[in-house]
Amino acid sequence: MCAIKAMIVDDSAVVRKHLSELLTAGGIEVVATAADPLFAWPKLQSNPPDVLVLDVEMPRMDGISFLRKLMAEHPLPVVMCSTLTEAGCETTMQALAAGAVGFVTKPKMGLKTFLEDRSNGLVDAVKAASKANLRAMGPRASGPAPVLPSPTMSPTAMAETTDRVIAIGLSTGGVQSLEAVLRQLPRTLPGVVVVQHMPEKFTAAFAARLNGLCELEVAEARNGDRVLPGRVLIAPGGRHMRLKRSGAQYIVEVTDGPLINHHRPSVDVLFKSVAQCAGRNAIGVIMTGMGDDGARGLRDMHDAGATTAAQDEASCVVFGMPKEAIRMGGTDAVVPLSEMAGWMLQQSAKPVRKG
């Protein structure tokens, strides 16, 4: 089996050296390094890697501008490896929206320790990125996406769907995929709860960005927040989120806890709570992502009477989580990304199905 080929673009010679050693020790072949995008471009064309590891703050051309050029002219899987700052959170969201399939954050303090730590996540991120299906990401829209019209609902149907809840779980490739779906949905949609695998401090910027792009209200969830029609609550990075019932209302509980399926937040934690609290009133969707987090929870939702769907393989960046959910028998439908928003609207307009 051929080793994964990687290229590192970072303006620090020390960082390039340590990252090269780290990847090599992880069984990844570093075919080239470059101090900035202008030096990197001819190397990419002459010896294309399987994965590019890219910094953001570099001389002559910033990493985001280079990423956009790369994805337009020479697309390949990109893992961002940049310093975490308040401003950097939004920058990382821009990078993921532009086509990056993963990211690892370099700390401002203790950088040397981080660079020498084989458990810092970079090797795993590069290996995951090498399996990404870039064709599924498609071209980036240059303008606002159209909003799908609301389905025609009778007063009776609307009353029956008032307390519906939509639960969505995603991982690798999920930033773009979730944006593509939410931008098409109207404020009449039932309340949505989302787990996107993402580290602490990134989910607030992610939610803020989506809130500016969508007709829906999108926010990072806080403990006790109500799940309301037209509102999307995204689990904070580093914390689990569960659905709870408070009288006639749904709320979210945001808590600490151990990693579940190697993740916090975990999709399974959310989906299992939705199965218990919402049952047949729920709609569950599992989308692009590596691994199997959420597959068991979606099966629990399905067994509790919820309507469930998985994103299809052709439109997934990584067909891991949906594949496992389908294999476990937890899905009613397999839906392309381009049709997911419409499917969610159709299901939310239906009367709650009988058990």
Same domain, 123 and 177: no
Same domain, 237 and 115: no
pLDDT tens figures, 267-326: 999 999 999 999 999 999 999 999 999 999 999 999 999 999 999 999 999 999 999 999
pLDDT tens figures, 217-261: 999 999 999 999 999 999 999 999 999 987 768 999 999 999 999
A 10 A CB-CB count for 223 gives 13
Instruction: Tell me which residue of 309, 336, 306, 341 sits closest to 151, measured CA to CA.
Output: 341
In a domain, 161, yes or no: yes
**Catalytic residue annotation:** 171, 197, 293
* CATH number assigned to the domain comprising residue 197: 3.40.50.180
Same domain, 101 and 175: no
pTM of the model: 0.82
Same domain, 74 and 222: no
Same domain, 233 and 340: yes
Domain end, chosen from 97, 132, 167, is at: 132
Domain range for 283 is: 155-349
Q: Is 265 left (phi over 0), alpha (psi -120 to 50) or beta?
A: beta
Amino acid identity of 239? R
In a domain, 27, yes or no: yes
